[in-house]
């Protein structure tokens, strides 16, 4: 009886911890998305210039390492908002470009936002309802994202529109898979730090939005 009771208690505690991580992740994700959206909207409205690829990469990876180094301390929350705010700043000029260059720019941005939200909700629901852990996807996703990242740099440096388009399609698939993977890790206790979980999901949403926006600009743009 004592063994059975101890097992039940351990499972209950694990379930409570998992629910806490999931709840805190979604709460922080909502706050960071709102903050990033405000920053992006402000930079777009002020027509501020994009910081450029080098500053963007240095800023992103630098702040990402800062988040990882402070994730278990009170500074972790400040680091998360610094990272997501910076990413919002880099997003603003891109949105402004679409609004300025396309007659239906506002519609494209809205469609990209809607598509991003639909994919996130759909993939998250799939991971939650399936009850499975998708840790076997980790290696495939890591390699795929690395390849797509290198290809995106080549597309930008050598100005290859077709390659850039292919990378956007890859990122839509990869980020969709990453949402499923990360949600599964949270549910099954593979990820216990809600700050790190939030950053992963935020980055997937950011990349999803940019990829969908580029695809819509090519296939549904009206300039």
> Which residue is it, tokens 């409205």?
45
Is 70 exceeded by the pLDDT of residue 41? yes
Is 90 exceeded by the pLDDT of residue 74? no
pLDDT 10s digits, 117-129: 999 999 999 999 9
* DSSP SS3 for 145: helix
For residue 87, give the nearest of 114, 61, 115 by alpha carbon.
Answer: 61
pLDDT 10s digits, 167-176: 999 999 999 9
User: How many helices and strands in the chain, by DSSP H and E?
Assistant: 7, 0
Whether the pTM exceeds 0.75: the reply is yes
Assess contact for 23 and 128: CB atoms under 8 A: no
Q: What is the CA radius of gyration of the chain?
A: 19
């Amino acid at each position: 009886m004592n063994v059975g009771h101890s097992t039940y208690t351990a499972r209950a505690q694990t379930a409570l911890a998992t629910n806490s991580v999931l709840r805190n992740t979604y709460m922080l994700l909502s706050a960071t998305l709102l903050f990033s959206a405000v920053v992006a909207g402000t930079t777009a409205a002020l027509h501020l210039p994009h910081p450029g690829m080098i500053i963007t990469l240095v800023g992103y990876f630098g702040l990402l390492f800062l988040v990882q180094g402070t994730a278990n301390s009170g500074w972790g929350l400040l680091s998360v908002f610094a990272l997501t705010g910076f990413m919002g700043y880099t997003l603003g000029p891109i949105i402004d470009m679409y609004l300025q260059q396309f007659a239906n720019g506002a519609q494209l941005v809205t469609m990209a936002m809607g598509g991003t939200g639909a994919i996130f909700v759909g993939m998250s629901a799939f991971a939650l309802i399936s009850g499975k852990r998708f840790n076997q996807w980790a290696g495939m996703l890591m390699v795929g994202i690395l390849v797509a990242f290198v290809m995106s740099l080549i597309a930008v440096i050598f100005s290859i529109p077709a390659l850039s388009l292919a990378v956007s399609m890859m990122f839509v698939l990869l980020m969709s898979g990453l949402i499923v993977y990360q949600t599964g890790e949270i549910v099954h206790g593979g990820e216990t730090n809600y700050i790190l979980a939030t950053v992963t999901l935020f980055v997937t949403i950011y990349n999803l939005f940019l990829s969908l926006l580029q695809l819509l600009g090519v296939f549904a743009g009206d300039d």
